[in-house]
Amino acid sequence: MSVTIQLNKKKSILFSGVFGPFGVDDEYGRKENIMELFHNQVTKAQGSASFRFHHRSFGLYFMAANLDTDVDVLDFPSKKRFIKEIKKGYDAVGISFIAPNYVKAKEMARLVRLHAPDSEIILGGHGAAIEGVEELIDCDHVVKGEGIYWMRKYIGQNLADPIVHPAIQSTEMQKIFGIPVPGPTASILVPGVGCVNACSFCSTSHFFGKKYTGYLHSGKEIFNTCVQIADERGTDTFFIMDENFLKDKQRALNLIEEMEKHDRYFMFHVFSSSETITDFGIDNMVRLGVQFAWIGFESKTDQSAFEKNNGISPKQRVKELRDRGISVLGSGILCMDHHTPENINEDIDFMIDIEADSVQYMLFTPLPVTALYKRMKKKGLIKMDLPFEEWHGQKMLNWNHPAFPGDMAEGIINGAFKKEYETNSSMMYRVIETAVRGHEYLNSIENPSRNFQKRKQQLHKKLKEYSIMLPIVKANAVNDLEITRVKQLESRVTALIGKPSFKQKSMIGAAHLLSKYWNLRLKLVGDAIQPKTIFTTFKHADRQQGKMPIKSFEVTEKLPEALKNFNKAACISLD
């Protein structure tokens, strides 16, 4: 009898997001917790005009690309699909979740113990910050904070190995009025994690220890990474997953120098605080190629005491950015400590009055690990008996606010989104107007630099693509005010890029059909869209040979017969 001993066997690992369906009321979740960033908390009141995007669980892919072992990533699975996968017998199953998906994570851990008892269970994501989660959910390990280095230590890998940046697209589904956004979606770029501003409510900042952990340390590193990903994916646009990217001013300025040196001009969507923008400079943002900035303005009053906004006029800041072609998403918080039914409309109107391209309203929600949570808990205000499924900030408060008992908060936040939409029109209209303003600004510059010439060309191309949407916006306008605004904007667009060509008119006709199809779908099927299940395999041997991970889509949304027939008719008309 011979015995073969396998030394240093590499672990097989499965990383999984929580199972669907998403955005429905059932034993595992709530209909308000939609698996769509914009439709969940930005354009949720805009009906068919809402931006509909599905974003992957980026962190799982990032970890998988940086581990010296075989890793599979299962994103948006059904419960049945998750069970099928864990039965393969992985050495470890990592489950990533947020607090509202606590029940799903707990059920997934139970399923692993049942169907794969030899697999170790690793909990991660922001849900891992829940106090005592290791006792609440049956698991072997909990990763609180940055995950790459923890996982490398877990599998015995050298922590100092270089960080590999995978080529990941920002969305799998990107539609407005049911019309697919043309061209490849932006790529994800993660220069680092965490933020030193450490706002009391910010779970991201506190989750990463109120410090910044950099992965790409210089402008040159970022540029080279962008070149590699852009060449692989065929797009020069990046969504930067970094809480405050411009905070490292020198790194961003060096990135501009690299782009100008190599005559390769990327475009970026960034998160930034207002004080950081002041320090970096708005014209530098244009040079950098920033097309979109997400800024936390939070509240009008000094009682909110956010140092990042001190001495800065949000309305002026938004105007300066939009005048240069940079779209702004402004964040506001409702039902804070100082709010009452009598004064909360001041903050709602404050966010409307800044005239950003879009507004995020969130309820003041103390989440585990944050300073706000600790303060609220010390005062005995946290509703510890409220299920975690309700801790998503879009319906009810998870703490006892004396001025907003019962379901008052839900009516307030829904009313705020509706008023913002009716006052400022759809996000699509505003994004096009911002592109027009930026184009007009660059036109006004005498003897522009090579950089500004390239930025003008990029805006021109963007405006030609966006202009096709203007007739669709007008046909689906929320009110007469939006119709008037679109008509005025159409003349400005024509002055910049000319009248639509025959091809563009044909595309507008097709867009009208798709928009009608979408409106019918909303009536027949409802608002919810379930993301496709994505299974991606990262093989260690393939990685050593420079091969790409293998990705497969496994599930597509099922449509009723009436909608299928309409779809066929639309396709015939388009031909």
- With a cut of 80, say whether residue 156 has pLDDT above it: yes
Domains identified in the chain and CATH numbers: 12-163+532-574 (no CATH), 173-424 (3.80.30.20)
Q: What is the pLDDT of residue 45?
A: 96
Tell me what pLDDT residue 412 has.
97
Q: In the predicted model, is pLDDT for residue 8 greater than 90?
A: no
Residue 339 C-alpha from the chain's centroid: 28
Q: Is the predicted pLDDT of residue 12 greater than 70, yes or no?
A: yes
Backbone angles phi, psi at 397, to 5 degrees: -80, 140
% of the chain beyond a pLDDT of 70? 92
Mean pLDDT of 131-148: 94
Taking only the tens place, the pLDDT of each residue in 388-399 is 999 999 999 999
Q: What is the pLDDT of residue 546?
A: 65
CA–CA separation, 286 and 267 (whole Å): 9
Q: Span 488-510, mean pLDDT?
A: 94
* pLDDT for res 564: 45
Task: Determine the average pLDDT of the residues in 140-168.
Answer: 93
Does the structure show a pLDDT above 60 at 7?
no
pLDDT of residue 306: 72
Provide the pLDDT for residue 35.
87
At residue 560, the pLDDT reads: 46
Using the CB atoms, write b or e for 508-545: b if 16+ within 10 Å.
bebbbbbbbbbbbbeeeeeeebbbebbbbebeeeebee
pLDDT: is 18 or 33 the higher one?
18
Q: How confident is the model at residue 553 (pLDDT cuts 50, 70, 90)?
A: low
Q: Where are the alpha helices (DSSP H) in 235-273?
A: 249-262
Is the model more confident about 251 or about 200?
Answer: 251
| Unique residue bearing structure tokens 């299962």 | 74
pLDDT band at 52 (very low <50, low <70, confident <90, very high): very high
Per-residue pLDDT at 571 = 35
Instruction: Please give the backbone phi and psi of residue 179, each rounded to the nearest 5 degrees, phi first.
Output: -100, 120
Average pLDDT over residues 378-388: 94
pLDDT over 90, % of the chain: 76
pLDDT at residue 305 in the model: 53
Q: Give, in degrees to the nearest 5, the angle at Cα 186 between 519 and 356.
A: 65
pLDDT at 269 over 90: yes
pLDDT tens-digit profile of 412-458? 999 999 999 999 999 999 999 999 999 999 999 999 999 999 999 99
How many residues appear in the chain?
575
More confident residue, 411 or 9: 411
What integer is the mean pLDDT of 153-170? 92
Give pTM, 2 decimals. 0.91
Q: State the pLDDT confidence band at 555, using cuts at 50, 70 and 90.
A: low
Averaged pLDDT for residues 100-120: 97
The yes-or-no verdict on residue 3 having pLDDT over 70 is no
pLDDT of residue 266: 98
Band of pLDDT at residue 547, cut at 50, 70 and 90? low
Output the pLDDT for position 525: 86
Mean pLDDT over all residues of the chain?
A: 90
Closest among 248, 313, 247, 246 to 286, alpha carbons compared: 246
Q: Higher-confidence residue: 378 or 299?
A: 378
DSSP annotation of 274: H
How large is the average pLDDT for residues 149-169?
93
CA proximity to 356, closest of 394, 393, 316: 316
The answer to whether residue 1 scores a pLDDT higher than 60 is no
- Cα gap 137→108, rounded to integer Å: 10
* SS3 category, 336: coil
Strand pairing category for 70-75 and 141-142: unpaired
Q: What are phi and psi of 492, to 5 degrees?
A: -70, -40
> In angstroms, what CA-CA distances link 55 with 17, 41, 58, 185, 469?
12, 14, 8, 11, 23
Give the integer Cα–Cα distance in Å for 442 and 431. 17
SS3 state at 550: strand
The Cα–Cα gap between 93 and 71 comes to 10
Q: What is the pLDDT of residue 374?
A: 93
CA-CA distance, 215 to 236, in Å (whole number)? 20
